[in-house]
């Protein structure tokens, strides 16, 4: 763990500069340039509002924001994990030429996603004004939830990074598993309000507490939209587990990373 912080300090400059430059290249040569950073989430929001509102016609309060909060939360986790699995292959050019702790590049990618998500949540706040969501001090409780989301994503992705080097088709399997979790996490529906699930205590605990992403999503919606506190016990437990995941992932990478490039 000490080595992790030492490395973070050493590559601080790069971690600050590289995500910005990646974001810049993504919009370079488009007509609207950096406006895309706002337009893209906005358009996606419209798409999901349309699909969810007209096709599913759900009666959840502030439904478009409800979907958008969940979706962004999910996207961050999903993309971090997927990036992790293919990271060594993706950065082979760099890794075969110089030594960089592998998770530094993972963090760069996660920061890129993080900045995108931050912009999306700015839109959430704007939407909250438009939909006249009552503002409460519970909004501040979203911050620890974001931190937990980051910890869990980094932990999961760093472990995937390690195994992704040794197992070729891990990416395919991870995609399927993530899709399953996507539907289990209640992005388009309220897990708590679904009668079949809510009436069965076992289901609802498993879906809301054992699946950390659903738990975070639920917490975010509660504190941003409905003026309620998240489930702090579950948040606490998952934070401890998340830190352990990170420690395990970082340990794996430190131990085996100099062998990665010989294999792929």
Partner 1 sequence: MEDAIIIKDLHISYRTVQAASIFKALFKKEKKVKKFDAIKGISLTIKKGQIVGLIGKNGSGKSTLLRAVANIFKADAGTIDTCGNTVQLMSIGVGFQNDLSGRENIYLSGMLLGYTKEYINEQLDNIIEFSELGDFIDQPVRTYSSGMYSKLAFSITSTLESDIILVDEVLSVGDVNFRKKSYARLKEMINQEDKTVLIVSHNSNTIRELCSHAVWLNDGILKMTGEVNEVVDAYEDFMSKETEKKRLQKEAAKKK
Q: Which residues sit at the interface with partner 1, rule CB under 8 A?
A: 10-11, 13-14, 17-18, 21-22, 24-25, 28-29, 93-100, 165-170, 173, 258-259, 261-264
- Please state the closest distance from residue 165 (CB atom) to partner 1, in A: 7
d(CA 151, CA 242): 6
155, 157, 163, 169: CA torsion to nearest 10? 150
Cβ nearer to partner 1, comparing 8 with 206: 8
- Please state the closest distance from residue 170 (CB atom) to partner 1, in A: 7
DSSP 8-state class, residue 134: P
Q: Burial-class residue 239 by CB neighbours within 10 Å (0-12, 13-18, 19+).
A: middle
- Please state the closest distance from residue 166 (CB atom) to partner 1, in A: 6
Cβ nearer to partner 1, comparing 96 with 200: 96
- Please state the closest distance from residue 222 (CB atom) to partner 1, in A: 38
Cβ nearer to partner 1, comparing 100 with 139: 100
Cβ nearer to partner 1, comparing 13 with 140: 13
Q: Which of 87, 155, 149 is nearest to 117 (CA)?
A: 149
Cβ nearer to partner 1, comparing 30 with 200: 30
- Please state the closest distance from residue 263 (CB atom) to partner 1, in A: 5
Exposed e or buried b per residue across 162-201, where buried means at least 16 C-beta atoms within 10 angstroms of its C-beta: bebbeeeebeeebeeebeebbeebbbbbbbeeeeebeeee
């Amino acid at each position: 763990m000490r080595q992790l912080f030492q490395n973070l300090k050493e590559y601080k400059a790069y971690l600050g500069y590289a995500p910005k430059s990646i974001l810049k290249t993504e919009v370079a040569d488009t007509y609207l340039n950096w406006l895309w950073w706002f337009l893209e989430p906005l358009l996606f929001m419209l798409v999901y509002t349309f699909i969810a509102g007209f096709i599913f016609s759900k009666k959840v309060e502030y439904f478009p924001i409800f979907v958008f909060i969940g979706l962004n939360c999910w996207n961050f986790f999903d993309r971090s994990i997927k990036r992790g699995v293919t990271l060594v292959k993706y950065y082979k050019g760099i890794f075969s030429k110089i030594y960089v702790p592998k998770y530094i590049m993972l963090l760069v990618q996660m920061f890129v996603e993080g900045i995108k998500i931050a912009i999306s949540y700015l839109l959430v706040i704007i939407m909250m004004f438009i939909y006249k969501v009552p503002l409460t001090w519970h909004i501040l409780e979203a911050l620890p939830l974001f931190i937990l989301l980051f910890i869990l994503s980094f932990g999961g992705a760093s472990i995937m990074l390690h195994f992704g080097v040794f197992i070729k088709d891990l990416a395919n399997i991870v995609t399927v598993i993530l899709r399953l979790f996507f539907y289990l996490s209640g992005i388009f529906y309220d897990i708590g309000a679904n009668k079949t699930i809510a009436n069965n205590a076992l289901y609802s605990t498993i879906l809301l507490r054992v699946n950390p992403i659903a738990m975070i999503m639920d917490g975010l919606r509660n504190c941003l939209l409905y003026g309620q506190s998240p489930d702090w016990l579950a948040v606490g437990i998952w934070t401890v587990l998340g830190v352990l995941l990170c420690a395990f992932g970082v340990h794996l990478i430190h131990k085996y990373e100099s062998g990665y490039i010989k294999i792929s």
